[in-house]
Structure 1
Amino acid sequence: MTPSSQDGAARGLAFRHWRPIANGLAFCLTVTAALWALSIPRYVGLGLYPQQYFATMLMLAMTAAFLTLPARRGTDRAVVPWLDVALAALAFVATGYVAVAYPWLVNQIFMKPPEVWIPGLIVTLLLLEALRRATGWALVIIISVFLVYALFGNLFPGRLAARPQNWQLLSGYMAFDTNGIFGIPIAVASTVVVTFILFGGLLAATGGSAFFTDAAMLGMGRFRGGSMKIAVLASALFGSISGSAVANVVGTGVVTIPMIKRDGYPAHKAAAIEAVASTGGQLMPPVMGASAFLMAEFLQTSYSSVVMAALVPAVLYYVALFIQADLEAAKLGIKRVAAELIPTGKSVISGLHFITAFALLIYALFTLKWQPERAALLACVSVAVTALIFGYKGNRPTLSALFGTISGTGHAVVEIILISAASGLVIGVLNITGLSFNLTYVLVQVGGGSAGLLLFLSALVCIVLGMGLPTLGVYVLLAALVAPALIKVGIEPMAAHLYVLYFGMMSMITPPIALAAFAAAGIARASSMKTGIAAMKFGWSAYVIPVLFAFSPTLILIGPPSDIALAVTTAVLGVWLISAALAGHFSTQLSPLMRALFAGFGLLALVPAGAFAGAQITDIVGCAGGLTVMALELLRAKNPRMKKVGV
């Protein structure tokens, strides 16, 4: 053995020696989730608390995290240090003990014996360290602040003061109470999210993701600015099942961003369009970055209700982006995608069988009323079977590739499970200290009881708290901290939760920390800040639409059908008008006066008729004025004399 190899052995073993174990843990994680979704433990007579299952999933996730994630983020894992091996073993033993002894532990929390608080403390500390490795310091610091508050709440002023908690009691409560680590967030992540991530992984492995990108290219490539429209459609399709805006950027942006740049579009705008399109995937049903399932749990409503409420705002978001992409292309003279890059209809048709999986998913969810995780497994089986029979473009996946997706899914959900478990710590502090009530009171007091002012303050809080945080972490924090205050001043609960989700997601494209925009800028080799600012412009609708459905829930399909139809119709017209104003182009280049008129009438048309007393008048003025200026612009494009006047 050479000196260098001896040094390496002293530090740890090469990762290749631990990879099979890590893959095995990831494989077990996915399989365990599938067995639980199918209720196999109950069928075989094994009576388990749900928290025992959650503890098992956390055990597998934390152990895999310490084996695969280096202590210093951004570095390669060539060697697994012995310390990390020890942490992985400790995580396996401590969380495994919780899984086995949970029925006894949960009844001893307030007795505070060492058998309760010692494993509780170990699990909590290991979870925070694993979370730091997976996501960085931001979420860990926020959670640590909450834990410090629980211990020293008496030192805080005014309404924020709380009775300090005994640290032994806090350790047991956080680790074992159903309001702590093993609460709602991990319940959703370890059931629904795992199965939907498996669905997405199978689509990627079988060619389904390529099919949707090719379908978008075939459908839009022959129109002006086709590359940008392809980016919008492909990212919407992929993002609707993806769990991460950044992953969506990377997954589709490596194809779409170079294509947009090749058509002559500025690099920072190419990156911005992809970032906005990818971020919107977190707002587009059915998965919504897993937030839809959590929202259903928080609101104690059905998943289908959340999906229906989220549908119209998400469609308006993409309509606005699509129109801007089209008008920007017209303004810059960008033509269709090169013919040789567009796939043939025959090749794309060979992938139509992938649609069967989505049809079965929707049928199982909305007609059979299955649980989302079971419906997702049905879609997974459909994808695998039809891909093995029909393939795509003459290629069929191998069985080893399909089985590889199982362990790949396990690795992909490790971060999500860690975030969800850690988010439970925040919920636990809010419950044990009463901070949730106090924060709601403070926000309402600062807002002066005014819904408008509170919405503005809440939007700022959402964007700030969302900076640098993953989807699930953002939503759980905001649902616990901000949504109750909005509900308190009369905002519809569904609208309040969608509001905080929208503004939390906007942190992905809002500088100074715009993760999705910056990831796209890296692919485009463009300025990060210029990309972020352009992304805010392209994503303008997500800053406006939530305010509208907060005041008038007709945009989230709550209300009489006639009012809903009117609100959606006028909203589409308003989105079109404002998008044209921002692009500075309609049928021809818009003059400054016409841009102002388009924007003004668009805003009036956007406001739903039920938003406030007299809003029907703003709707009428907006629609009539908007249609008039659109007609004038069409006439101006055809009449040379009007062009010279510059109306």
Structure 2
Amino acid sequence: MTESTTRWCSDKLVLIAALAAISLSVFQIWQGITADLSAPVFRPIHLSWVLILVFLTLPLIKQGQSTAIYLMGRCIDILCIAAIAWASYNIVSFDYDDIMFLMDGLTSLDQLSGLIIMVLLLEATRRTVGMVMVVIAALFLAYAIFGNYLPGSIASKGFSIEEIVRFHIFSTNGIYGAPLAIAAGVVFIFVLFGAFLQVTGAGKFFIDASFSLAGKYRGGPAKASVLASAALGSISGSAIANTVTTGALTIPMMKKLGYKSEQAAGIEAAASTGGQIMPPVMGAGAFVMAQFTGIPYSEILLVSIAPAILYFGCTLLYVHLMACKLGLKGMDVTEKITVVLKDGWHFLVPLILITSLLLMSYSPILVGITGCVAILVAAMCRKHSRITVSVFFEGMKEGAILALPISVACGTAGIVVGVVGQTGIGLQFTQFLMALSGGYLWSVLGLIAIAAVILGMGLPVTAAYIVLSIMAVPSLTELGVGLLAAHMIVFWLSQTSNVTPPIALAAFAAAGIANTSPMKSAVQAFKLAQGFFIIPIMMAFSGLIWMEGKNVDFIVAIVLTVGLIVAFAGCIEGRLATKLPMLSRMLLLVSAFAMLVHYPYINAIGLALIVVITLLNIRASKNESVLTQEVI
């Protein structure tokens, strides 16, 4: 066995993987249009296809080892693929009306098929997401099996292997439950839409437009990074992917302008993470939220607009204050927005189309397919953006590959959701959280935020949201928070792990591009992403989640949130228009807390104090400018 043998084997498997990925995209589009397959058939087929692709694209033993070891690893991968195909065939062809199943449960062959899928799903999770999620799922399974040996307050019935497999595999409650249903349906289609945006050049258009709009202002590349991430982040499905995509361009430009390396990385990470809460798509979590709450996605989209704008406004404010502190200017040369729009206006049409259709409550899956068609048609309408057949298939392949971690994570998250439902541990966790917090909403929010950061160290955002929503939302609703507001709070807090030390994945990815310290980048990202903590607090304590007939409360909540953001920014950065005296910073901190109480008079006094300090600071800045000119 020589190196040429290894290369031949690798090349053949890469080709097979590409064909399998393209075929998966075709299958998903066909199912989205026809909906011919029922859930007990479609979901196992989707997951098996995904698992096969994972074992094809992420080998057990990577190249670099000896030829014999590498080929042995690939043989194990192929055996796993064969086992997946065999087990999935048994699951898909299972007869739920069989009288023997109804009387005696699963046969040994059915149990073996289910165990194969569960074990290999966990292995695929290890390869795509990491070991932490595998450990969490394994702990939940262990609780389901051995829960009867635990103390009474946390004990469960204790289920047999047959009962575990029957619940998690041969039903739509566990692995093939709601999380995988969302990943296999609407999320896959929108990830495919995002892949087409990239291969057609639409992604570059949004980045160019952002630089045209914001590049000439103080700290221009940083502000352009925020705008570009807002435009692309919700469609990419991953904060890390967004960081790498836009950061490759924006981080070097920020460093060239004068930002420190860790500041440039932090700005990009905070902005890219914010893309996950920006309509119209908001990553995968919002679609899971619609499934869990039963609330139409169009309603979730509408109530998310104002909080998302507030978040990016908060990030832009910190970026501006940082630029002022460093004495940075804007870019000397930027392309005129009219020129950028002239070349790429047609890429706006698909986004406008999918936003309109989602607001009109059309099926998200069909809206996503329509968006894919629209972006391809739009690209073909202009000579300079037309794509070849090979680029089209590249988009089909990339869409499937990008969806792999999401589907695998959602399948494994289904284990957690299934165990919670099967054992009833969710109610026990709610009681524990209420006891630990003393029944105070402040305490519950703090504990959920800590749990979100800890879970996010090893879980993707969507998986962290699924686990937290199952365990923590009942605690919030028990304290009077509305169902949608509770899910939105958990959804937002689940994003924080990307920017919160000690493990901030988006910040670490940005640090790699900026060639700087990951921890310093994470600290900067955490400071810039304060909106992820401020805005959920306002969701809990004010009317920031819009409700019909509550327009006045909603407007007041927006004003108070803006005041809170300005107060915290001035206090932390030590300046607004110019440097703030220590007394003003302390007063801003007090005013910030005044925004959080339920007494209108205190709110008004705090808001008035913020306005006065801001106006006095602007006046002081103008006086400084006059004195500087006189000296000159």
| TM-score (norm: length of structure 1) | 0.92
Structure 1 residues 151, 106: closer, same or farther in 2, change over 3 A?
farther
Q: How does 1:53-68 map to 2 (within 5 A)?
A: 53-68=42-57
* Structure 1 equivalent of residue 319 of structure 2: 325
* Structure 1 equivalent of residue 379 of structure 2: 387
Asked whether 1:440 is paired with 2:430, we answer yes
Asked whether 1:518 is paired with 2:508, we answer yes
TM-fit CA distance, 1:522? 1.2
Contact 1:56 1:99 in 2 (8 A): yes
* Structure 1 equivalent of residue 2 of structure 2: 4
Out of 459, 466, 490, the position equivalent to 2:456 is: 466
Out of 622, 636, 639, the position equivalent to 2:606 is: 622
Amino acid at match of 1:90: A
Out of 193, 198, 201, the position equivalent to 1:204 is: 198
Amino acid at match of 2:23: C
Asked whether 1:564 is paired with 2:554, we answer yes
* Structure 2 equivalent of residue 122 of structure 1: 116
Length, aligned pairs only: 623
Structure 1 residues 323, 72: closer, same or farther in 2, change over 3 A?
farther
Secondary structure, in 3 states, of the residue corresponding to 1:159?
coil
Structure 1 residues 359, 395: closer, same or farther in 2, change over 3 A?
closer
- 2: CA distance, partners of 1:511 / 1:572: 26
Deviations 1:498-550, CA, capped at 9 Å, x for gaps: 11122221011111111111111111111111111111111112112212211
Deviations 1:122-158, CA, capped at 9 Å, x for gaps: 1111111111111110100000000011110012224
Structure 1 residues 455, 5: closer, same or farther in 2, change over 3 A?
closer
Contact 2:543 2:557 in 1 (8 A): no
Contact 1:553 1:559 in 2 (8 A): no
* Structure 1 equivalent of residue 290 of structure 2: 296
Amino acid at match of 1:635: R
Amino acid at match of 1:510: T
* Structure 2 equivalent of residue 371 of structure 1: 363
Secondary structure, in 3 states, of the residue corresponding to 1:585?
coil
- 2: CA distance, partners of 1:204 / 1:130: 26
Range 210-219 or range 91-100, more displaced: 91-100
Out of 603, 608, 622, the position equivalent to 1:638 is: 622
Contact 2:380 2:387 in 1 (8 A): yes
- 2: CA distance, partners of 1:362 / 1:563: 26
Contact 1:267 1:526 in 2 (8 A): yes
- 1: CA distance, partners of 2:280 / 2:89: 33
Deviations 1:468-508, CA, capped at 9 Å, x for gaps: 21122111111111112222222211111111122221011
Amino acid at match of 2:353: L
* Structure 2 equivalent of residue 234 of structure 1: 228
TM-fit CA distance, 1:576? 2.6
Q: How does 1:47-58 map to 2 (within 5 A)?
A: 48-58=37-47
TM-fit CA distance, 1:582? 2.5
Asked whether 1:93 is paired with 2:50, we answer no
Range 166-175 or range 260-269, more displaced: 166-175
- 2: CA distance, partners of 1:583 / 1:638: 19
* Structure 2 equivalent of residue 312 of structure 1: 306
Q: How does 1:237-316 map to 2 (within 5 A)?
A: 237-316=231-310
Structure 1 residues 558, 150: closer, same or farther in 2, change over 3 A?
farther
Structure 1 residues 413, 587: closer, same or farther in 2, change over 3 A?
same
* Structure 2 equivalent of residue 29 of structure 1: 24
- 2: CA distance, partners of 1:51 / 1:603: 51
- 1: CA distance, partners of 2:11 / 2:221: 41
Asked whether 1:70 is paired with 2:59, we answer yes
Contact 1:73 1:136 in 2 (8 A): no
Deviations 1:233-278, CA, capped at 9 Å, x for gaps: 0111111111111111111111111110000111111110111001
Asked whether 1:549 is paired with 2:539, we answer yes
Contact 2:229 2:246 in 1 (8 A): yes
Q: How does 1:557-636 map to 2 (within 5 A)?
A: 557=547, 560-605=550-595, 607=596, 612=598, 614=599, 616-636=600-620
Name the Cα RMSD after superposition.
2.4
Contact 1:601 1:625 in 2 (8 A): yes
Amino acid at match of 2:362: W
Range 555-564 or range 311-320, more displaced: 555-564
Out of 18, 34, 40, the position equivalent to 1:39 is: 34
Structure 1 residues 274, 142: closer, same or farther in 2, change over 3 A?
same
Contact 1:191 1:373 in 2 (8 A): yes
- 2: CA distance, partners of 1:161 / 1:643: 73
Contact 2:90 2:110 in 1 (8 A): no
* Structure 1 equivalent of residue 345 of structure 2: 352
TM-fit CA distance, 1:378? 1.0
Secondary structure, in 3 states, of the residue corresponding to 1:626?
helix
Structure 1 residues 168, 200: closer, same or farther in 2, change over 3 A?
same
Secondary structure, in 3 states, of the residue corresponding to 2:344?
coil
Structure 1 residues 105, 373: closer, same or farther in 2, change over 3 A?
farther
Structure 1 residues 458, 107: closer, same or farther in 2, change over 3 A?
farther
Gaps of 5+ in 1: 42-47
* Structure 2 equivalent of residue 414 of structure 1: 404
Range 13-22 or range 105-114, more displaced: 105-114
TM-fit CA distance, 1:186? 0.7
Gaps of 5+ in 2: none
Q: How does 1:215-234 map to 2 (within 5 A)?
A: 215-234=209-228
TM-fit CA distance, 1:74? 10
Deviations 1:572-609, CA, capped at 9 Å, x for gaps: 2332332233222222222222222333334434x3xx
Amino acid at match of 2:454: V
- 2: CA distance, partners of 1:599 / 1:70: 53
Secondary structure, in 3 states, of the residue corresponding to 2:153?
helix
Amino acid at match of 1:50: A
Structure 1 residues 72, 155: closer, same or farther in 2, change over 3 A?
farther
Contact 2:196 2:395 in 1 (8 A): yes
- 2: CA distance, partners of 1:105 / 1:218: 64
* Structure 1 equivalent of residue 498 of structure 2: 508
| Same amino acid, percent of matched pairs | 33
- 2: CA distance, partners of 1:102 / 1:231: 53
* Structure 2 equivalent of residue 423 of structure 1: 413
